[in-house]
């Protein structure tokens, strides 16, 4: 990515100023500050590498603060923790530095250090934004202090006018604690009180599904579908839940509706119809799919399910063109289709090309069956 023209001109002007004046050098620390302000963190890191820290009266507070913030944004969390701690040791007094340190420590799984940083930031920092209280709660949670984590959320609900993020987090805490009935109850209160967006329905529904509470998750997602009937994420989440419950036909319908809203979900919808015992619909959707390799593999499976062995064997050329016959499982499936179609020579050619040891036994059984059919063809009619 090329730097913006304005930034490039600034770099050239500063550098030229140093050359023509014969005394001033490039202010890399100042440039780093500009780049951080504009969100150009990679270039900020490069500028900071060029800073001469040996100069007399060097501003270590500014240097380590910028360095730590840059490293945090670049997800170099361990380095960010180290740099921000150095900024504090050199005298940085801005309470926001403690928040940056806490976030870096959180990502680096140094939860005790993160909590200590927030405590050092004091009440001013804690009351500066709801996210700070949420972070404090999460740090307590990770340290195993669940009661204090819950108390932090209650504190946030009292202190901030918008209690939505705190109640939302409570719901997830209850799910993690295995208190599913209470989580569902509080989740419904949250939905009624704050009128959340589609992502909230998906997040809570998915959390319950992953916790093994598919029915409870289904309640939230169906409620979300009523509120947002054409939201793709809700439809996809519903498809997962219905599939988990073994309701493949309903899951397929949800997935097909999601596919109509964009994205190549037709393969998934076709697979669900196939599992539901509707191969015709599965074949119809498969034909419209975009991913050619997935499409061909699935089409082969559907044709075999339908007993359309001639058509399945006829796919061998297309499978070869897309490199799929290199997969011995696919090769065996084509050999089986050729056998069932009565084309024993073609089946034998495919079986000869199989090298996977795990398929040798199946291939040997198929060869034996073909030998029997050659000798007594009436048994294979």
CB 269 within 8 A of CB 279: no
At the topology level of CATH, where does 1-120 sit? 1.25.40
- The Cα–Cα gap between 210 and 160 comes to 31
Whole-model pTM over 0.75: no
Q: Is the dihedral of CA 132, 137, 138, 140 positive or negative?
A: positive
Helix (H) or strand (E) holding 168: helix 164-176
- The Cα–Cα gap between 101 and 114 comes to 7
Residues with Cβ within 8 Å of residue 244, at least 6 apart in sequence: 209, 214
Residues with Cβ within 8 Å of residue 88, at least 6 apart in sequence: 97, 98, 101
pLDDT digits (tens, 9 = 90+) for 31-86: 989 999 999 999 999 999 988 888 888 999 999 999 999 999 999 999 999 999 99
Residue 163: Cβ within 10 Å count: 19
CB 199 within 8 A of CB 233: yes
Token pair listed for 128:
């500066």
pLDDT digits (tens, 9 = 90+) for 238-294: 999 999 999 999 999 999 999 999 888 999 999 999 999 999 999 999 999 989 999
The CA-based diameter of the chain, rounded to the nearest angstrom, is: 101
Which of 40, 43, 82 minimizes the C-alpha distance to 65? 82
Q: Over 80: is that where the pLDDT of 25 sits?
A: no
Where do the structural domains in the chain lie, given as residue ranges? 1-120
């Amino acid at each position: 990515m090329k730097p913006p023209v304005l930034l490039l001109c600034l770099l050239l002007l500063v550098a030229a100023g140093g050359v023509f004046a014969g005394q001033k050098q490039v202010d890399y620390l100042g440039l780093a500050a500009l780049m951080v302000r504009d969100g150009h963190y990679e270039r900020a890191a490069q500028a900071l590498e060029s800073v001469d820290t040996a100069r007399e009266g060097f501003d270590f507070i500014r240097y380590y603060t910028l360095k730590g913030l840059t490293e945090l944004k670049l997800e170099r969390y361990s380095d960010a923790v180290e740099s921000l701690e150095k900024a504090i040791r050199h005298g940085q007094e801005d309470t926001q530095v403690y928040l940056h340190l806490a976030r870096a420590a959180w990502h680096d799984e140094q939860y005790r250090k993160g909590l200590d940083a927030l405590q050092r930031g004091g009440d001013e920092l804690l009351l500066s934004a709801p996210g700070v209280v949420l972070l404090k709660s999460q740090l307590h949670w990770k340290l195993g202090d669940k009661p204090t984590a819950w108390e932090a959320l209650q504190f946030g609900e009292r202190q901030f006018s918008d209690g939505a993020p705190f109640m939302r987090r409570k719901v997830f805490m209850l799910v993690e604690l295995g208190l599913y009935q209470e989580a569902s109850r509080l989740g419904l209160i949250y939905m009624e009180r704050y009128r959340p967006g589609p992502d909230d329905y998906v997040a809570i529904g998915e959390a319950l599904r992953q916790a093994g509470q598919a029915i409870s998750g289904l309640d939230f997602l169906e409620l979300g579908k009523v509120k947002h009937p054409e939201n793709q994420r809700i439809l996809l989440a519903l498809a997962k839940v219905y599939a988990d419950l073994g309701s493949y036909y309903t899951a397929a319908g949800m997935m097909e509706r999601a596919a109509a809203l964009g994205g190549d979900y037709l393969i998934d919808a076709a697979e669900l119809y196939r599992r539901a015992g509707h191969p015709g619909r599965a074949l119809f959707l498969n034909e419209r799919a975009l991913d050619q390799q997935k499409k061909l593999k699935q089409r082969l499976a559907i044709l075999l399910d339908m007993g359309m062995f001639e058509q399945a064997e006829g796919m061998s050329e297309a499978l070869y063109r897309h490199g799929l016959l290199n997969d011995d499982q696919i090769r065996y499936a084509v050999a089986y289709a050729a056998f069932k179609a009565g084309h024993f020579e073609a089946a034998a050619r495919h079986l000869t090309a199989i090298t996977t040891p795990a398929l040798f036994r199946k291939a040997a059984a198929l060869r034996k069956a073909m030998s029997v059919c050659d000798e007594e063809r009436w048994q294979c009619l």
